[in-house]
Structure 1
């Protein structure tokens, strides 16, 4: 579809929505917003993936969680649950649910009741109960929950009444509430699931999404757009826009062009080199803040020669991270010396033990008996917050490794193919990263590097270290922030010693928007949310 035709489609979509609203209610100018997104979602259920592209399109638009995380206060705050308390032994969490929370009504589903504890039980039992009729519907599993051993953590989930329930844990876990506030812990409709199961179409649950969020899904056309409509019975603050469109535009330069021409009001993931162009347009502004993220180069430690720590250290010493920061990030990131970013409360500045040293790299390869090494580097085809240009990063690493006699083959595909093939774990190394969902440091370690995560798509290094697992387990069972910080620094020391991956950078979180778009709140973690977005001087497009 050409850019012109696509523009007409999006404009028509907003205009048609206006006709519907004017015909059915007070005479007013309807409002809509077009967001230039970087790629297609893999699913419309964030429980099934860890892709940031999917999270952006689903978690805060379509769904709600029991609790949310407030970036300003750093506290867990009510969402679908209005209050909660923990038992004295720390093994049970009791929740009271918000009354009269309505699910979306669509042409596919007309709910007969508001949300109850049954919906919460369905949403989590699907994940933890292998005999649940919906458990195996997901072909990708439940990667975030599997990576944190959620099923092993939960003893049972008990319904007390329609508006009360309790999670019983097998062991104390200081990160439990934080995990319930992640973008993955969304609440689905049990009634909708029962209807689809009876009709023989259970997989539709994850594609034709029904939630309690500020927007309901209207239409998705792959590689083109996603259309949402305001949920008129939303339980929270009512969205200020009537219609939301994700314009799927993979090229950053095209996203910027659409923002300049007004075809988009907000644009994702600008490249650092484009920011000088933004300065030439006074009607466009950049929002940025330090992010809770990390870009890294992960080695497949289950494959030779990457199962030899000397080889991993050699490759790490061979790359010039400062040059990558200059060329790829251009002052929009800081160099990573560990997995935790400076924005984390457990961060501690340490000198990088793996400094750029090509001669040391050569010596380590010789010590390991490696000659004529040729490796593959898989590089993401889409920009992400933690790495605006993985292909460029791969090219710089390719050049650095050539200086020590290592040949590099760069591999990339369309994002949907890339993520599918990556899940097969038949790669040498991959350039990827992670954006945290909350400020708990465990969100950087357990989902990415625990032994339980080694069996999921999250642990790209396919690495398991019992010593690290022991430290992480201890860190989750204590409540003292000082003690937990000390333990996470022990975890950082293990990573620096074993190097299953090389941390490259912690990037600023950035978004471009037109100046008439107001009330945006750029958070250091999690997906983007449009429920509270507003605009001045008429419709934002």
Structure 2
């Protein structure tokens, strides 16, 4: 009996310990996500609709990758918390010569990479030389005019003039240059790590930023931990976990249940639900984006004809499309958003007129219509929260003018690969501005320099010499009023040639638990998380 009683006591003790352990484990799904019984470790779990493509920021253009790399890397200068004005980062100060060609940067002397190596001027030189070594460094080509024949673009020379001083010489003035350097793709990577990991560096990133890469489980999670030795403001949270949850509704349910702390890609119809929830709040990102349908002008056939592209613009009822955005979108008529200087508000949007569309198609020789494929992404984006439903609506509208649309739906990574290589007839895509300059929209997305298969920013493959000359002139003009005049003219040309059906500019909503404090969403689409906190 005594032995039986002892066994019962042991079993009860084991059960008590097990229940207690389970209770501690379950606490990691909410609250401050404490670990190891310490009770004070703060983990932010951020839910999003798609995984990163890679974690080398110099080789990507997608927001999901940049969202993560923005935590890991620093740039020479960084944007202010609520605007695209720049302030010091890895560079403490800088100056430019009177002719606008020579930029000198004085670097911080107290910075270390996550691998323990000191940050010096030679590391800046290494990164610029790496970016100029191949066309795979996409953003370098977009922003500095690099081509296969001139991989350096306008960057003539980068020299370490001291251990902590770098001089960058341009071949021509570049008005947005200092703002461009704050863009996440120009984060400075550890040369030692790049050499050590080689082709696998994209999944072993090493920077100087407020968070250190820990683990990547593809299509599931990316985990970062706080950099206690960060030269800037050390993060208030200990860990960030980016969770991939493709379905907007499922992601929102996880937010409601407390298994994630914050999310983007909110379904418009869930905004009201979130606002009525005492535990949640809606945070709106300032608008600096555009969503669009690009028509591949490089394909033989109807889309190479301007009249056909104009007809498609007349055949789509954007006011009807805006009902799908449920209050977070406004009709787009230009490639740049109205929040940006240089926006041409005098341009009149193509009016919804199916009869005019039919007349233009007949004039172009397509009175009986034609068949076309529209490539779309399955994952929601801040600039297009419901891509499939939007595509289906456009499909029905174009059917009214005898254009038969087949929708080709792919995951985000596959979609980008297809459209950057020109495999589409028509395609959905969008853009969130990187540096607050019209050049970042018009030159990147519509200039002939960026209509290169394999890395196309201009997925309409639209090539206008007249537009190119205006955009290049605007890049070297340092007077903003004169630049504005050039961009006004550029938008008139684009509107007439109609390589796009501009769809919407959105004010993207994020939803978060109210315990998330001091979070300030940036207009460029991502921001470091070192300033936010979690409070119970």
Whether TM exceeds 0.5 here: the answer is yes
Distance 1:242 1:339 in 2: 40
Mapping for residues 100-119 of structure 1, pairs under 5 Å: 100-105=110-115, 111=116, 113-119=117-123
Confirm or deny that 1:228 pairs with 2:227.
no
* 8 Å contact from structure 1 (residues 122, 188) kept in 2: no
- Decide whether aligned partners of structure 1 residues 432 and 73 sit closer, same or farther in structure 2, where only a CA change above 3 A counts: closer
* 8 Å contact from structure 2 (residues 29, 259) kept in 1: no
Mapping for residues 250-289 of structure 1, pairs under 5 Å: 250-289=246-285
Q: 2:373 aligns with which of 376, 391, 395?
A: 376
Q: 1:11 aligns with which of 28, 34, 37?
A: 28
Distance 2:26 2:401 in 1: 52
Distance 2:229 2:81 in 1: 26
**Alignment match, 1:173:** 174
Distance 2:83 2:34 in 1: 37
Distance 1:12 1:392 in 2: 33
Q: Could you say which structure has the larger radius of gyration?
A: 2
RMSD, aligned CA: 2.2
Distance 1:368 1:128 in 2: 43
**Cα distance, 1:342 vs. partner?**
1.6
**Alignment match, 2:57:** 46
Distance 2:349 2:31 in 1: 54
Confirm or deny that 1:32 pairs with 2:46.
no
Mapping for residues 66-81 of structure 1, pairs under 5 Å: 66-70=76-80, 72=82, 74-81=84-91
Confirm or deny that 1:147 pairs with 2:147.
no
**Alignment match, 1:457:** 456
**Cα distance, 1:13 vs. partner?**
12
**Alignment match, 2:298:** 302
**Cα distance, 1:366 vs. partner?**
0.7
* 8 Å contact from structure 2 (residues 32, 534) kept in 1: no
**Cα distance, 1:515 vs. partner?**
0.7
**Cα distance, 1:346 vs. partner?**
1.8
Q: Deviations over 1:301-351 (max 9, x none)?
A: 10122111011111111001111011x211111111111212112223235
**Cα distance, 1:28 vs. partner?**
6.2
**Alignment match, 2:103:** 93
| SS, match of residue 152 in structure 1 | coil
* 8 Å contact from structure 1 (residues 82, 96) kept in 2: yes
Mapping for residues 161-240 of structure 1, pairs under 5 Å: 161-194=162-195, 196=196, 201-240=197-236
Report the more deviating stretch, 162-171 or 410-419: 410-419
* 8 Å contact from structure 1 (residues 509, 524) kept in 2: no
**Alignment match, 1:532:** 531
Q: How many residues align?
A: 504
* 8 Å contact from structure 1 (residues 182, 526) kept in 2: no
* 8 Å contact from structure 1 (residues 35, 267) kept in 2: yes
Confirm or deny that 1:55 pairs with 2:51.
no
- Decide whether aligned partners of structure 1 residues 169 and 13 sit closer, same or farther in structure 2, where only a CA change above 3 A counts: farther
Q: 1:120 aligns with which of 110, 124, 128?
A: 124
- Decide whether aligned partners of structure 1 residues 396 and 352 sit closer, same or farther in structure 2, where only a CA change above 3 A counts: farther
Q: Deviations over 1:199-237 (max 9, x none)?
A: xx4112221111111111111111211111111111110
**Alignment match, 2:490:** 491
Runs (5+) with no aligned partner, structure 1: 106-110, 130-134
Q: Deviations over 1:347-382 (max 9, x none)?
A: 232353411110011011111111340111111111
